[in-house]
Every structure is written in structure tokens, then in C-alpha cells.
Structure 1
Amino acid sequence: MTTDDRIRDADQTVAQGVDPRSDAAVSTDDLAGDLTGDPAVMELYARTADRYDRLNTLISFGTSNWYRRRTILSLKLPKDATLVDVGCGTGVLTLAAQRFLPDSTSIVGVDPCSEMRALAEGAGVRDVRPGSFSHIPVDDSSRDAVVSGYAIRYAEDLDEAFREIRRVLRPGGRLVLLEMMVPRSPRGHRAMEVMIKGVGSRVFAIACGSWSVRDLLRHFWDSISSFAPRDVVLGKLKDAGFTEIEYRPAGGLLGEFRATAPVG
């Protein structure tokens, strides 16, 4: 069975009213993050929280939720694995973990924005806590996986963030950080800036019915264009002691930083 087949089967299970935590459920074998250092950015996410999922759907042409679900399946975790989603936003990635890890005793969504946390809880995330990359509110060595969707760029100190992730992961635990990376070429960089910060910010603001979305997209471009280059991120993961470190391009601006906590 392919990854896509398993996603479709899980969707049908939920649609039929089967509890995703039950034995009948199918199992596998989110732009807020560490924003506490910038109140203006926190306020921007608060203003756009109720438009956030719609914006993601429009920008990704409807593939955003599918991609997050596929991320959870790609980890190939046991169905009782424990996991924390840092910068969970409205909870899309956390909900995917709940769906595909039905026997887990603890799946936690963490976000510093109260409006985002409220939406995550309303969507069905069972355990949502305030926190960030500088303070992940779970015990030492308690997680089989740490995931994050488009939030690591908000970490004020990557070294501190990776130490905190190491703290909560069990030996051999998996890390996946989804992030948007700007094109390296000047021409590609300029083209994407015009598309996102210029034309796109206006078009999607109209489509979402809120000029706050325009402000969010303009901030979005500024945040991804100022984020550390991929080689720097990979180097800091290595300095933090992670193993099996890699960056996987995922199409367009999408990419994934992956690593494993050392054993022993």
C-alpha cells in the first residue's frame, strides 16, 4: 500500500465515524512558531489565525494538509510513538500525528500564540500547550519524534533550539523540520519576492477576505528570506550532536531538515 493509499484510507475511516484511536483505524508502521521575541509578529499571527488554514490551502493549491500527513507517515513510526509538534499553529500536523499514531499515549501541540492554540483545540488536537523552540513543555527524553511545520525560522537562536530538541528526544528519536527556503539565484530570489510579497499578498488577501493576510504574506517573505542558509542549519544540527542529518527538497520553496538523536 502506498503512502497516498494510507492517507485516503485514514480519511475514509474518519468520515465513517471510526475513532482514530481505535483498533479499526488505519495507522502507520502548520506559520506560527517561536514568536515570543517579536510581539508585532505574534500580534500579526493572532489577527490572521482564523484565515490561516484557508491561506495555506490556497497557496498550496489544496496540497498543504496532504503534505503534512505524508510527513508523519514518512517517519515510519510505531503506532504508539510519542510526538511533539513545535509551532503547531492551527494543529494540522498534530492532527495528522493523532490520526496515524492512534495508540500513542502522548501527542502534544506547542505554540506561543493563544489564538492559534484555541483553533488547534477546536479542530480536535487533544493536548495543546504554550511554548516555543526555546522552551518545549515536555519531559526530558520523552519523545520518539519532534516535528515542526514552517516555524524553525522563528527560533531566535538555532543552537538553543536544537539543544532543546535534543533534550526532549529519546535516543534514536526522529526530527523533521518543514521549512520554506528561498531560491539561491538572484533572479529566482527576485521572482519569488514579487510573487509572494507583491502580487500574491494582494491576491490572497482578497481571496481570504482580509487585508491582514496581505501583511502576513509580506512578513512571510521577509522571514524566509532572512532565515539561515540550509548549509548553516545542517551545520548547527551536526554541532548539536544529531546524526543522519539531511536536507530534502520537496518542490518549489518547500524543504525538510531531517535528523536523528544519537544513540548512546
Structure 2
Amino acid sequence: MTVAHVTGAARGIGKSIALRLARDGHNIAVSDLPSMEKELEETRKQIESSGVRAISLYGDISQPQSVKKLVENTASGLGSLDIMVANAGIAQTKALLDVTPEEYDKVHAVNGRGVFLCYTEAARWMIKQGTGGKIIGACSIAGHKGFPLLGVYCSSKFGVRALTQSAAQEWAPHGITVNAYCPGIVDTQMWVEVDRDLGAINKVGKGESMKAMAQGIALGRVSTGDDVAGLVSWLAGPDSTYMTGQSLLIDGGMLFV
């Protein structure tokens, strides 16, 4: 049975992805920060109710040794690492002229370096296994288009697109595909916080910023974690074997590129 690792799986999109991959029949390692222990353990229990094996791991994806241990403990705990979903990420809503270098570095440490570390450590392990694998990263519509007040976040997600393309080319000879998923507006805690911060800047009420952005969605609604998880399920499965280096929009029709 194949083994998938999903980072940032305590809640939101990561949790939806982990639960979907469990329903697909993969054994699952879920990881998140130690501060998210209660939520992550709940995710693990729900995965096990699907009849597959699951382990919960804790670490900081911005730190090399932490990611190395996450990968090693996945393989030792479940027998292999066949699918890596580098999902964990953070958002920032702030005018560029107000962003400090420290704030810039914090966003890129998680969204940029964190994805890089998950990609490379997973690839090293998959190459050692010799059986190929699938590496899947969290990008965004913000990796295809820059948005005001989200400039640093956008720059980190553009980096994920470039990394995905480069990694796909380097690791194809090892039978490893590398792709990313690009959600739009998702009904998660992260977007609640983005709405709050945009509202404070633009002096509008709760929910108004998200409502205004959602008016541009062709399908007429914001997405759920399950919408995104469906795409990741396909990327993790056999039908996507001939796709690599792509960052796929799953936004209900916001961008057309």
C-alpha cells in the first residue's frame, strides 16, 4: 500500500487532503506544528476510521533537520514514502511599504523554503527507494497573478511554481513527478484571517472583503477544502502519471491563463 505524507494537516485544506487520500486507500502520515497537537490527533483518528494506517508527526517545515525527521519517521513508521504533499503555508495581508524584512523572511521561510525542503527531502528518499514517487506542492492563484496587499504571499507562491517546474525536470529520470495545486478563495481559517486583515485595511465589515473577491468566481461560490482535495487526489493517483511540472488552478473560474 502506498504511503502519503501531508504537511499542515491539522486543519483546513491539509486536513481535507489527508482525509481524501485516506479514502483513496493510502496510508497517511500527517504533520503540523507541536502547537496543533489536539487538532492533528483528531485528523489522525478520522483517517484511521477509513481503515488505513495513520501516524501523526510534529515539526517545523522551515527547518532542515525537522523536515528530514518528518520524512524519515514517515518511512520508518509506515514502510515507505511514495507521495509527499507539501501543503503547509501561511498568509500575510499587508501593504508592501509596511512590510518589514523580518515579516518578508517569515512568509518565505514557510511558503518558499518549507516547500523546497519538503520537495528535496522527499526526493532524496524516493530516489533511495528506487520506486519513483509523486511530489505535490501548495501553490495558489497568487502564484499566477499578483494581488494588492498580498504581495509577499504572492511572491512566495510564484516561487513554488518555479521550483515545481525545475524539480520536475531534474527528478523525472528517477520516475518522480512534481506538480502543484493552486486554490483560489477557500473557506478555511486562513481566509477568515485574510478577510479580517483586508477589512481592517479597507475599513469594511467582517466577510465583506471575501464577498467582494468571490464576485469574480465564475462558478458563483468560494471553494471548500474538499474541492482542492479532489484535485490532489488525482495528482496523487495513477491517472496523472504523465503530468509533471504543472501548477493547476482549482479556483472555480477566477483566473483563465
Instruction: Quickly name the TM-score band, shorter chain normalised.
Output: 0.3 to 0.5
The TM-score normalised by the length of structure 1 is: 0.43
TM-score normalised by L of structure 2: 0.44
